[in-house]
Structure 1
Amino acid sequence: MLAEVDGEQCRRFVKKRDKKGGARRDLEDLRAAINHHANEGYHRGLVKVTLPAKGEPRDKWLTRSAAAKLIWTCWRYREIQTVHRGERKGQKIATDKRPLRHLARFILIGLYTGTRAGAIAAASPVPAIGRSYIDLEQGIYYRRKQGDARTNKRQPPVPLPPRLLTHLRRWHRIAPGAEHFVTYKGQAVASVKTAFKTAVQLAGLEKGISPHTLRHTAATWLMQRGADPWQAAGYLGMSLEVLLNTYGHHHPDYLSDAVEKIAKRETKTERKRTESGIVSGAITGAVGARRSERRR
């Protein structure tokens, strides 16, 4: 099995998988499994997994109006059912069920904190193994699930914005016994991908918007508001390099000095200095040339 893993097989897998991003993640998992197998002493030979090149970072984000539209769609949407009996048989009617309201909470937490989907789904007012804990009294969000090891995906604790904290406290008052902030039919959610896709369609937003778009949106909004990049990177739990390379162009100070200097006209004083510098440089050069000729 391991002897069959080579560059050619990896490239065939990428071609068959069709999606480079998904293929790369699958091959990364395979590489990690092979490395673990070797570390446990089950094989000694070198097995190299060839990965496809990384794609361009995605930076699709929501405008504030689009985000508001998405939230209101989730909050107002009523489940549609088809009548199967009686005079109204075959007609579709709106029920009193609100199947997307849990998603409105999810979106608010994502937009205000830029937290990854898994940590939002695990957010709880009660500290416990396997949950990310929100301290409602101190207003601190401990995003890394208790019991989880630290990984490259940074999830530092962050203070919560007052507006979001108000929502969280109100939700807890409404359902003091709930173990998670985002629940569906009283149970914690493992994933919101399907509901999120439905909400995006109902809101009339463009394709390609996913739960991870909320993280891109938070980063973009922070840059657009002129937040200090170092603090923004710490708040989002990403490296400063990734923040600047992916979202830096949204910052109002992005290349502002270069733009100002390239279009700035010289004052008379600056022009005289430039001209005098050119003249003095020419004189110095001429004198140096004459001296060198005399030495010859």
Structure 2
Amino acid sequence: MPRKINPPSLHLRSKRYNSHGKLTHQAQWRIHDRGERIDTGFGESDFELAKKALTEYIVAQHNEKPVPTGGSPEAVLIGDLISYYLKRKAGKINALSKDNHRDFVARFDRLIDFWGDKYVIEIDENTCGKYQKFGKPLADTTHRKHLEYLRAVIGFGAEKRKVLMNGLSIDYDMPSKSKPRPDWYARYQIARLVHMAYRRKYKNGNRPIGHLARFILVAVYTGTRSDRIQRASFIKEAGRPWIDLENGIFYRSWSGENVADNKPADPVRIPEGLLSHMRRWHRNGARYLIEVNGKPTGTCRSAFRRLVIEVLGKEEAVGYNRHTLRHTCATWLMKARHPKDDIARYLSCTTEIIEKVYGHFHPDWMKSTTEAFGSHRQKRVSDLQRKKIRHEESMSERAEDAA
């Protein structure tokens, strides 16, 4: 089994001081790639630019020659198509959040390592099975995600005529798609999570995870995806979702953004209670929705996970993560009998998704079916009452005849 090779990644080189304690070098982002250290030239506050430099570095590693047009599946290397895909999609890649960008880089680096020297025609059930066991074996859900990226690369190459499929159907042999998880937080659990995030303090009074409380409140009351909450700003600026505090609207995508079809990010009106909190946060000096010491930051999955385990307990916390907050928003609205079409617009998804994933939370779910049993009983009672009335009338008539 080949040894695991870590993908190129960004690391922050700390500030450096001389023997007299004088600062000689500012903190700087560097690319670590298989023992090499490449300076990006960007400081600690320029993570977005450093992330773009990492994307360009990865593309350059697999972009020695342009991909010709009109190649056959037997002649086009998958590595060339991956390079072409990354180059054309660089804008979307750089718009990913820190966590999502890291995951994206890791997936494509693994794809390149295995598929880079193979031809499109070689993609079949056998090679897809080998890919799952390549290096560190992948779980079925992760394996499916990697193959979905591979399928997107091949589909994009075919769309741009970099490879002519000529009716060729590729068997990716993907594992079954995992079922939606309808896990959700109860209101008392959300209250405990927010309270714990706000309460924890260092000795100097700083709140190390206070930003998680803001994240939880915004996610559960707007159903917005994690990466958009983490990038949001109270001041309108390029490349960031914008919160219009004056009109109470959360613009979850920015002007000119090319939003993925499967993850729309339409504007949403902010609930009054949450809007009051947001105005107070901004009034107290916050420029970004999620920030630490005045600088925008993310909500580390591991930090959030530790908070959930601490508050709910290890056993109860199984299956709960940041995305569960979005499920919670939908569930609460369904339980409140809110119209499904409105919920779908609020969450930027389809009514079909709301019905399929959250339909059973609605109090009226299958109500007509269960009432059918009651109506059958009512009908039987009515029939008995009618028989009793007819019997009484008959006995009355007989009494009159006898008299």
TM-score calculated relative to the size of structure 2: 0.60
State the SS of the aligned residue for 1:124. coil
Of residues 116-125 and 43-52 in structure 1, the stretch that sits farther from structure 2 once superposed is: 43-52
User: Are residues 1:181 and 2:289 paired?
Assistant: yes
Q: Counterpart of 1:167?
A: 277
Change (3 A) 1:29 1:145: farther
- CA distance in structure 2 between the aligned counterparts of 1:56 and 1:122, rounded to whole angstroms: 29
Paired residues of 2:232 and 2:290 also in contact (CA < 8 A): yes
Task: Return the match for 1:141 from 250, 268, 271.
Answer: 250
Q: Counterpart of 2:141?
A: 21
Answer 1 or 2: higher relative contact order, Cα 8 Å, separation at least 6. Answer: 1
Q: Counterpart of 1:76?
A: 199
Paired residues of 1:129 and 1:147 also in contact (CA < 8 A): no
- CA distance in structure 2 between the aligned counterparts of 1:133 and 1:175, rounded to whole angstroms: 16
- CA distance in structure 1 between the aligned counterparts of 2:255 and 2:232, rounded to whole angstroms: 11
Change (3 A) 1:72 1:40: same
State the SS of the aligned residue for 1:219. helix
- Counterpart of 2:330 in structure 1: which amino acid? A
Q: Counterpart of 2:368?
A: 257
Change (3 A) 1:10 1:199: same
User: Are residues 1:7 and 2:125 paired?
Assistant: yes
- CA distance in structure 1 between the aligned counterparts of 2:262 and 2:379, rounded to whole angstroms: 51
- CA distance in structure 2 between the aligned counterparts of 1:191 and 1:47, rounded to whole angstroms: 41
Task: Return the match for 1:198 from 279, 282, 306.
Answer: 306
User: Are residues 1:104 and 2:222 paired?
Assistant: no
State the SS of the aligned residue for 1:134. strand
Q: Deviations over 1:164-215 (max 9, x none)?
A: 0001100000015x2x110123221244312211211221341221110100
Structure 1 residues 1-296: aligned runs within 5 Å: 1=118, 2-14=120-132, 17-45=137-165, 46=168, 48=170, 49-79=172-202, 96-150=205-259, 151-175=261-285, 178=287, 180-205=288-313, 206-264=317-375, 265-267=377-379, 271=383
Paired residues of 1:5 and 1:47 also in contact (CA < 8 A): no
Paired residues of 2:253 and 2:266 also in contact (CA < 8 A): yes
Residue 44 of structure 1 deviates from its aligned partner by 2.1
Residue 33 of structure 1 deviates from its aligned partner by 1.4
Paired residues of 2:236 and 2:242 also in contact (CA < 8 A): yes
State the SS of the aligned residue for 1:266. helix
User: Which runs of no fewer than 5 residues in structure 1 stay unpaired?
Assistant: 80-93, 276-296
- CA distance in structure 1 between the aligned counterparts of 2:225 and 2:253, rounded to whole angstroms: 10
State the SS of the aligned residue for 2:378. coil
Residue 78 of structure 1 deviates from its aligned partner by 2.6
Q: Deviations over 1:189-246 (max 9, x none)?
A: 2443122112112213412211101001101111111111111111111111111111
- CA distance in structure 2 between the aligned counterparts of 1:106 and 1:147, rounded to whole angstroms: 25
- CA distance in structure 2 between the aligned counterparts of 1:184 and 1:22, rounded to whole angstroms: 32
Paired residues of 1:14 and 1:52 also in contact (CA < 8 A): no
- CA distance in structure 1 between the aligned counterparts of 2:379 and 2:235, rounded to whole angstroms: 65
State the SS of the aligned residue for 1:259. helix
User: Which runs of no fewer than 5 residues in structure 2 stay unpaired?
Assistant: 1-117, 388-403
- Counterpart of 1:156 in structure 2: which amino acid? D
- Counterpart of 1:213 in structure 2: which amino acid? T
Paired residues of 2:180 and 2:357 also in contact (CA < 8 A): yes
- CA distance in structure 2 between the aligned counterparts of 1:171 and 1:104, rounded to whole angstroms: 12
Of residues 10-19 and 151-160 in structure 1, the stretch that sits farther from structure 2 once superposed is: 10-19
- Counterpart of 2:127 in structure 1: which amino acid? Q
Residue 3 of structure 1 deviates from its aligned partner by 3.1
- CA distance in structure 1 between the aligned counterparts of 2:238 and 2:155, rounded to whole angstroms: 28
Tell me the matched-pair count: 259
Paired residues of 1:70 and 1:203 also in contact (CA < 8 A): yes
- Counterpart of 1:97 in structure 2: which amino acid? N
Residue 160 of structure 1 deviates from its aligned partner by 0.8
Residue 11 of structure 1 deviates from its aligned partner by 3.1
Paired residues of 2:212 and 2:299 also in contact (CA < 8 A): no
Change (3 A) 1:268 1:61: closer
Paired residues of 2:330 and 2:358 also in contact (CA < 8 A): yes
Residue 119 of structure 1 deviates from its aligned partner by 0.9
Residue 252 of structure 1 deviates from its aligned partner by 0.9
State the SS of the aligned residue for 1:211. coil
- CA distance in structure 2 between the aligned counterparts of 1:244 and 1:40, rounded to whole angstroms: 36
Residue 258 of structure 1 deviates from its aligned partner by 1.4
- CA distance in structure 2 between the aligned counterparts of 1:137 and 1:97, rounded to whole angstroms: 29
Residue 74 of structure 1 deviates from its aligned partner by 0.7
Aligned CA-pair RMSD: 2.4
- CA distance in structure 1 between the aligned counterparts of 2:298 and 2:199, rounded to whole angstroms: 23
Paired residues of 1:109 and 1:164 also in contact (CA < 8 A): yes
